[in-house]
């Protein structure tokens, strides 16, 4: 069972992610209802602005942590009782020469691949000190080396937590670590360029497909295809070992996706224009899923193996996307197409904030679990998206907004969703 904070992150990702796709689909429908040109690239720019806002969150987090760390250092310095001036001078010299300590250190493995525990590491260090002619005495968080001449040399820098690889370790092997060793040769400020490029392509295709496909259908197809592709990517690129039971679950999810596609073919077979829209939407969805999986996997690798902060990575992805996206938009789409009514401006600001919250929850989920696990849990967005669409259609006063219940197509969609959830159960059990 996941810790409470991870469960809350997963729930937030599901709820806010569902609200985001419905809100953007509703935005497109309102634009069409008012006879304005729908520009998915403009929504993509709003999406990137929302992601860039996470830089502000990162700087606030960093400043708060620095303040707390400084307070702890001041408290530690206040309670230290130096027995001699010489000892105090030695300690001050040691502090000046100390290198910056990371919050967490990397996991160490012995030659047999077995993980070395904290106690084993400390015991090893103590044996080395004793071989040099002394022994160790512990004083709270500090360790004091007692030399044979009776001189006590305190190591007053508290022992830090070792950097345990964050996220899911299921299926990772020594080969997995070797395949991603290249990331450590990339400068930190260039690392976000890789997921940032995938993010730009992913977001443009994702919001473009909503022009042609209903939100619930898009969410079902996107979630299912991403789960399948992420499993293959984890196997091929990440070198994760995936159990037979999980492959069986993925096969069931594939069956559910086929069922949903069949339902939409039946629904649109009498309307040629709707059939063309569904075909174009499916092509965009396939492209979106391909780039999304590469983005998720690259984020997972950089956060879990290079210790890259999640909010900083997300913010820099959005910033790089804006640098490339704004010139493209200005080149192909005149600014006059953007509606400047107070309602539209307010709605667009709401979209930016919703994207920021959802983006942080999404990347945080990848950080604490894995890209595969994130795609498993995204399946639960499907039913929420569908419920939101039905409510907008039947409760709202405009029948052009939301989604209607269509017979027999909606029953096939519901059946496909049930099959997909069954596949998720087998995958995750």
Averaged over 301-330, what is the pLDDT?
Answer: 90
Residue 82 confidence (pLDDT): 44
pLDDT, tens digit (0-9, with 9 covering 90-100), for 146-205: 444 444 444 433 444 444 555 566 667 777 777 788 888 889 889 999 999 999 999 999
In a domain, residue 84? The reply is no
- Asked whether residue 361 is domain-assigned, the answer is yes
Hey, what are 407's tokens? 């017979």
Q: What is the pLDDT of residues 337-394, one digit of tens each?
A: 666 778 888 999 999 999 999 999 999 898 888 877 788 788 788 778 888 888 888 8
pLDDT of residue 328: 85
| 291 inside domain | yes
pLDDT of amino acid 113: 41
Number of folded domains that form the chain = 1
In a domain, 72, yes or no: no
Residue-level pLDDT at 154: 43
Span 104-152, pLDDT tens digits: 334 344 444 444 444 544 454 455 445 445 444 544 444 444 444 444 4
Structure tokens at 254: 């594939």
Task: Please report the pLDDT score of residue 251 as a whole number.
Answer: 87
pLDDT class of 320 with cuts at 50, 70, 90: very high
* Per-residue pLDDT, 397: 66
Q: For 30-42, what is the mean pLDDT?
A: 75
pLDDT, average across residues 275-297: 90
Does 94 map to a domain? Answer: no
What is d(CA 324, CA 59) in angstroms, rounded to the nearest whole number?
Answer: 24
Highest mean pLDDT (candidates 288-302, 365-379, 396-410): 288-302
Please report which confidence band the pLDDT of residue 28 belongs to, taking 50, 70 and 90 as the band edges: confident
Q: Give per-residue pLDDT as tens, 207-231.
A: 888 888 888 788 888 888 888 898 8
Is 110 domain-assigned?
no
Identify the domain containing residue 299 by its residue range: 4-63+184-428
Cα–Cα dist 349/405, whole Å:
31
Q: Give tens-digit pLDDT for 45-84.
A: 999 999 999 999 999 988 888 777 666 665 555 544 444 4
Q: Report whether pLDDT(291) > 50.
A: yes
Residue bearing the bigger pLDDT, 332 or 169: 332
pLDDT for 339: 66
Decide if 98 is inside a domain: no
pLDDT greater at residue 89 or residue 279: 279
Q: Is residue 265 part of a domain?
A: yes
Q: Is residue 294 scored above 90 in pLDDT?
A: yes
- Residue 270 has what pLDDT? 59
- In this prediction, residue 33 carries a pLDDT of 72
Given pLDDT bands bounded at 50, 70 and 90, which one contains residue 403? confident
Checking if the pLDDT of 269 tops 90, the result is: no
């Amino acid at each position: 069972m996941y810790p409470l904070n991870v469960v809350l992150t997963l729930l937030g990702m599901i709820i806010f992610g569902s609200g985001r796709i419905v809100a953007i689909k509703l935005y497109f429908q309102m634009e069409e209802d008012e006879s304005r040109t729908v520009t998915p690239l403009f929504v993509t720019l709003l999406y990137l602005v929302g992601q860039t806002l996470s830089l502000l969150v990162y700087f606030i987090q960093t400043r708060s942590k620095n303040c707390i760390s400084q307070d702890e250092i001041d408290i530690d310095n206040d309670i230290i009782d130096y027995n001699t001036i010489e000892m105090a001078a030695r300690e001050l010299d040691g502090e000046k020469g100390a290198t910056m300590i990371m919050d967490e250190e990397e996991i160490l493995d012995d030659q047999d691949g077995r993980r070395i525990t904290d106690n084993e590491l400390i015991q090893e260090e103590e044996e080395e000190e004793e071989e040099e002619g002394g022994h160790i005495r512990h004083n709270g968080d500090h360790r004091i080396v007692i030399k044979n001449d009776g001189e006590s040399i305190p190591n007053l820098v508290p022992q830090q937590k070792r950097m345990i690889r964050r996220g899911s370790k299921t299926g990772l092997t020594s080969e997995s670590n070797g395949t991603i060793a290249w990331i450590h040769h990339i400068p930190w400020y260039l690392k976000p360029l890789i997921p940032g490029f995938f993010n730009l392509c992913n977001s443009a295709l994702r919001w473009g497909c909503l022009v042609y496909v209903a939100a619930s259908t898009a969410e079902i197809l996107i979630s299912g295809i991403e789960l399948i592709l992420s499993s293959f990517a984890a196997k091929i690129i990440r070198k994760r070992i995936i159990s037979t039971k999980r492959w069986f679950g993925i096969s069931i999810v594939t069956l559910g996706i086929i069922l949903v596609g069949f339902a939409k073919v039946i629904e649109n077979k009498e309307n040629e224009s709707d059939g063309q829209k569904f075909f174009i939407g499916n092509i965009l969805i396939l492209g979106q899923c391909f780039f999304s999986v590469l983005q998720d996997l690259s984020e997972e690798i950089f956060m879990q193996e290079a210790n890259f902060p999640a909010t900083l990575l997300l913010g820099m992805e959005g910033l790089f996307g804006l640098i490339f996206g704004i010139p493209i938009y200005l080149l192909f789409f005149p600014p006059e197409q953007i509606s400047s009514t107070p309602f539209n401006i307010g709605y667009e600001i709401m979209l930016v904030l919703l994207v920021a919250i959802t983006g942080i929850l999404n990347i945080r989920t990848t950080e604490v679990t894995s890209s595969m696990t994130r795609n498993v849990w995204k399946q639960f967005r499907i039913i929420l998206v569908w419920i939101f669409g039905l409510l907008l259609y039947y409760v709202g006063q405009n029948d052009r907004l939301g989604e209607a219940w269509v017979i027999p197509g909606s029953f096939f969609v519901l059946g496909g969703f049930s099959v997909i959830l069954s596949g998720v159960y087998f995958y995750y059990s």
